Chain A
Protein backbone atom coordinates (compact mmCIF):
# COMPACT_ATOMS: atom_id res chain seq x y z
CA UNK A 1 0.00 0.00 0.00
CA UNK A 2 1.32 3.43 -0.97
CA UNK A 3 1.85 5.47 2.13
CA UNK A 4 3.70 8.19 3.96
CA UNK A 5 4.53 7.20 7.52
CA UNK A 6 5.32 9.68 10.26
CA UNK A 7 6.59 8.93 13.74
CA UNK A 8 5.76 9.66 16.41
CA UNK A 9 2.08 10.50 15.98
CA UNK A 10 1.98 12.35 19.28
CA UNK A 11 4.72 13.87 21.40
CA UNK A 12 4.74 16.05 24.48
CA UNK A 13 8.16 17.40 25.36
CA UNK A 14 9.87 20.35 27.00
CA UNK A 15 11.54 23.48 25.70
CA UNK A 16 15.08 22.96 24.48
CA UNK A 17 15.07 19.17 24.25
CA UNK A 18 16.09 18.18 20.73
CA UNK A 19 13.62 16.03 18.85
CA UNK A 20 13.27 14.40 15.47
CA UNK A 21 10.09 13.52 13.63
CA UNK A 22 10.68 10.84 11.04
CA UNK A 23 8.95 10.60 7.68
CA UNK A 24 9.21 7.71 5.27
CA UNK A 25 7.50 7.06 1.93
CA UNK A 26 7.34 3.82 -0.06
CA UNK A 27 6.42 5.28 -3.47
CA UNK A 28 9.94 6.19 -4.68
CA UNK A 29 8.87 9.84 -4.87
CA UNK A 30 11.52 12.47 -5.50
CA UNK A 31 9.69 15.39 -3.88
CA UNK A 32 9.07 15.50 -0.13
CA UNK A 33 7.96 18.31 2.12
CA UNK A 34 7.02 19.25 5.66
CA UNK A 35 4.08 21.42 6.70
CA UNK A 36 2.72 22.67 9.95
CA UNK A 37 -0.99 23.26 10.43
CA UNK A 38 -2.26 25.76 12.96
CA UNK A 39 -5.81 26.96 13.66
CA UNK A 40 -6.60 30.04 11.61
CA UNK A 41 -3.35 29.78 9.65
CA UNK A 42 -3.85 26.66 7.61
CA UNK A 43 -1.06 24.53 6.17
CA UNK A 44 2.29 26.28 5.87
CA UNK A 45 5.33 24.74 4.25
CA UNK A 46 8.44 24.44 6.43
CA UNK A 47 10.99 22.76 4.15
CA UNK A 48 10.93 20.77 0.96
CA UNK A 49 13.28 18.51 -0.95
CA UNK A 50 13.34 18.00 -4.70
CA UNK A 51 15.61 14.98 -4.44
CA UNK A 52 18.33 13.31 -2.37
CA UNK A 53 20.73 15.86 -0.85
CA UNK A 54 18.62 18.77 -2.18
CA UNK A 55 16.61 20.70 0.40
CA UNK A 56 15.12 24.19 0.42
CA UNK A 57 13.31 26.49 2.82
CA UNK A 58 9.58 26.89 2.65
CA UNK A 59 7.56 29.71 4.16
CA UNK A 60 8.30 29.06 7.85
CA UNK A 61 11.72 27.37 8.19
CA UNK A 62 12.95 29.12 11.34
CA UNK A 63 13.75 26.73 14.16
CA UNK A 64 13.70 23.63 11.95
CA UNK A 65 16.24 21.51 10.10
CA UNK A 66 15.81 18.70 7.62
CA UNK A 67 18.00 16.21 5.82
CA UNK A 68 17.53 14.00 2.78
CA UNK A 69 20.21 11.35 2.75
CA UNK A 70 17.97 8.72 1.19
CA UNK A 71 15.06 9.04 -1.19
CA UNK A 72 12.51 7.47 1.11
CA UNK A 73 13.28 9.40 4.32
CA UNK A 74 12.92 13.08 5.18
CA UNK A 75 13.27 13.70 8.93
CA UNK A 76 12.30 17.00 10.55
CA UNK A 77 14.64 18.11 13.33
CA UNK A 78 13.90 20.62 16.06
CA UNK A 79 17.27 21.34 17.65
CA UNK A 80 15.90 23.49 20.47
CA UNK A 81 12.10 23.32 20.45
CA UNK A 82 10.10 26.23 21.79
CA UNK A 83 6.40 26.51 22.73
CA UNK A 84 5.59 28.37 19.49
CA UNK A 85 6.46 25.19 17.64
CA UNK A 86 3.53 23.41 19.23
CA UNK A 87 1.53 22.38 16.20
CA UNK A 88 0.27 19.60 13.96
CA UNK A 89 2.94 18.56 11.46
CA UNK A 90 2.45 16.81 8.14
CA UNK A 91 4.95 15.19 5.84
CA UNK A 92 4.06 14.76 2.17
CA UNK A 93 5.58 13.28 -0.96
CA UNK A 94 4.89 13.47 -4.67
CA UNK A 95 6.40 12.81 -8.06
CA UNK A 96 6.78 15.16 -11.02
CA UNK A 97 4.26 17.83 -9.95
CA UNK A 98 1.67 15.17 -9.20
CA UNK A 99 -0.65 15.59 -6.19
CA UNK A 100 0.95 15.15 -2.81
CA UNK A 101 0.42 12.15 -0.55
CA UNK A 102 0.25 13.21 3.08
CA UNK A 103 1.05 11.32 6.23
CA UNK A 104 -1.45 11.24 9.08
CA UNK A 105 0.29 13.93 11.05
CA UNK A 106 2.36 14.36 14.20
CA UNK A 107 0.88 16.38 17.02
CA UNK A 108 3.70 18.10 18.92
CA UNK A 109 3.27 19.87 22.24
CA UNK A 110 6.26 21.83 23.53
CA UNK A 111 5.88 22.82 27.17
Chain B
Protein backbone atom coordinates (compact mmCIF):
# COMPACT_ATOMS: atom_id res chain seq x y z
CA UNK B 1 0.00 0.00 0.00
CA UNK B 2 1.06 3.59 -0.42
CA UNK B 3 3.21 5.10 2.28
CA UNK B 4 4.07 8.71 3.03
CA UNK B 5 6.71 9.84 5.51
CA UNK B 6 7.76 13.20 6.80
CA UNK B 7 11.36 13.16 7.85
CA UNK B 8 11.08 14.14 11.45
CA UNK B 9 8.47 14.54 14.09
CA UNK B 10 9.97 17.81 15.31
CA UNK B 11 12.52 20.28 14.03
CA UNK B 12 14.15 23.20 15.84
CA UNK B 13 15.56 26.00 13.71
CA UNK B 14 17.17 29.27 14.74
CA UNK B 15 15.29 32.40 13.72
CA UNK B 16 16.52 33.80 10.43
CA UNK B 17 17.75 30.46 9.13
CA UNK B 18 16.13 28.34 6.43
CA UNK B 19 13.93 25.49 7.61
CA UNK B 20 13.77 22.46 5.32
CA UNK B 21 11.12 19.78 5.76
CA UNK B 22 11.06 16.52 3.82
CA UNK B 23 8.20 14.41 2.54
CA UNK B 24 8.93 10.98 1.04
CA UNK B 25 6.47 8.52 -0.44
CA UNK B 26 6.44 5.00 -1.84
CA UNK B 27 4.11 2.80 -3.90
CA UNK B 28 2.31 5.79 -5.32
CA UNK B 29 2.53 8.25 -8.18
CA UNK B 30 0.72 11.43 -7.20
CA UNK B 31 -0.49 13.88 -9.79
CA UNK B 32 0.28 16.63 -7.29
CA UNK B 33 1.51 17.21 -3.78
CA UNK B 34 0.26 19.78 -1.29
CA UNK B 35 1.70 21.33 1.84
CA UNK B 36 -0.50 22.49 4.72
CA UNK B 37 0.16 24.31 7.95
CA UNK B 38 -1.64 23.33 11.15
CA UNK B 39 -1.66 25.38 14.33
CA UNK B 40 -2.69 23.87 17.70
CA UNK B 41 -6.46 23.56 17.99
CA UNK B 42 -7.04 24.49 14.35
CA UNK B 43 -7.60 22.68 11.09
CA UNK B 44 -4.88 22.44 8.44
CA UNK B 45 -4.54 25.45 6.16
CA UNK B 46 -3.36 25.07 2.57
CA UNK B 47 -0.01 26.65 1.65
CA UNK B 48 1.30 25.38 -1.68
CA UNK B 49 0.56 22.86 -4.40
CA UNK B 50 3.10 21.43 -6.83
CA UNK B 51 2.23 19.20 -9.77
CA UNK B 52 4.18 16.19 -11.01
CA UNK B 53 5.51 18.09 -14.02
CA UNK B 54 6.75 21.01 -11.90
CA UNK B 55 10.17 21.04 -10.26
CA UNK B 56 9.73 24.03 -7.97
CA UNK B 57 7.08 26.42 -6.69
CA UNK B 58 7.53 29.59 -4.67
CA UNK B 59 5.29 31.80 -2.59
CA UNK B 60 6.88 34.63 -0.66
CA UNK B 61 9.32 32.96 1.79
CA UNK B 62 8.09 29.47 0.95
CA UNK B 63 9.56 27.14 -1.65
CA UNK B 64 8.53 23.61 -2.56
CA UNK B 65 10.39 21.16 -4.77
CA UNK B 66 9.11 17.90 -6.19
CA UNK B 67 11.34 15.09 -7.43
CA UNK B 68 9.23 12.26 -8.86
CA UNK B 69 12.33 10.12 -9.41
CA UNK B 70 13.33 10.29 -5.76
CA UNK B 71 9.65 10.32 -4.74
CA UNK B 72 10.36 13.27 -2.51
CA UNK B 73 9.21 16.81 -1.86
CA UNK B 74 11.17 19.42 0.06
CA UNK B 75 9.49 22.37 1.76
CA UNK B 76 11.66 25.38 2.59
CA UNK B 77 10.92 28.42 4.71
CA UNK B 78 13.58 31.07 4.28
CA UNK B 79 14.34 33.80 6.82
CA UNK B 80 12.29 31.83 9.35
CA UNK B 81 10.40 33.63 12.11
CA UNK B 82 8.92 32.46 15.43
CA UNK B 83 5.46 32.93 13.84
CA UNK B 84 6.35 30.13 11.41
CA UNK B 85 6.28 27.66 14.32
CA UNK B 86 3.55 25.14 13.54
CA UNK B 87 3.02 21.60 12.29
CA UNK B 88 3.45 21.19 8.54
CA UNK B 89 1.71 18.41 6.65
CA UNK B 90 2.31 17.10 3.16
CA UNK B 91 -0.48 15.42 1.22
CA UNK B 92 -0.47 13.31 -1.93
CA UNK B 93 -3.25 14.24 -4.34
CA UNK B 94 -4.77 16.15 -1.46
CA UNK B 95 -6.06 13.06 0.34
CA UNK B 96 -3.12 10.98 1.67
CA UNK B 97 -1.57 12.96 4.49
CA UNK B 98 1.75 12.58 6.22
CA UNK B 99 1.92 12.65 10.01
CA UNK B 100 3.41 16.11 9.98
CA UNK B 101 6.56 17.79 11.23
CA UNK B 102 6.38 20.14 14.24
CA UNK B 103 8.58 23.08 13.43
CA UNK B 104 9.89 25.32 16.22
CA UNK B 105 11.62 28.54 15.26
CA UNK B 106 13.79 29.61 18.17
CA UNK B 107 14.19 33.35 18.80
- Whether B89 lies near A42 (C-beta < 8 A) is yes
Number of residues in A with C-beta < 8 Å to the partner? 22
Contact with A along B70-106 (1 / 0, CB 8 A): 0000000000000000000100001101111000000
Instruction: List the B side residues contacting A45 at CB < 8 Å.
Output: 95
Is there a chain B Cβ closer than 8 Å to A43's Cβ? yes
Which of A4, A44, A90, A94 touches B94 (beta carbons < 8 Å)? A94
- Whether B43 lies near A99 (C-beta < 8 A) is no
Which of A33, A44, A104 touches B43 (beta carbons < 8 Å)? A104
Is there a chain A Cβ closer than 8 Å to B64's Cβ? no
- Whether B89 lies near A102 (C-beta < 8 A) is no
A39 to chain B, nearest CB (A): 9
Instruction: List the B side residues contacting A101 at CB < 8 Å.
Output: 46
- Whether A40 lies near B44 (C-beta < 8 A) is no
Which of B41, B42, B89, B99 touches A40 (beta carbons < 8 Å)? B99
Is there a chain B Cβ closer than 8 Å to A75's Cβ? no
- Per the bound structure, the CA–CA distance linking A104 and B44 in Å amounts to 8
Contact with B along A29-55 (1 / 0, CB 8 A): 000010100001111110010000000
Instruction: List the A side residues contacting B49 at CB < 8 Å.
Output: 99
Is there a chain B Cβ closer than 8 Å to A80's Cβ? no
Contact with B along A94-105 (1 / 0, CB 8 A): 100101111111
Q: Which residue of A lies closest to B42 (CB)?
A: A104
- Per the bound structure, the CA–CA distance linking A40 and B45 in Å amounts to 20
Q: A99-B34, A99-B49 are in contact. Are A42 and B43 (CB under 8 A)?
A: no
Q: A42-B89, A43-B89 are in contact. Are A102 and B45 (CB under 8 A)?
A: yes
A-B contact pairs, 14 of them (CB 8 A): A4-B43, A33-B95, A35-B97, A42-B89, A42-B98, A43-B44, A45-B95, A58-B95, A90-B43, A97-B32, A100-B94, A101-B46, A102-B43, A102-B44
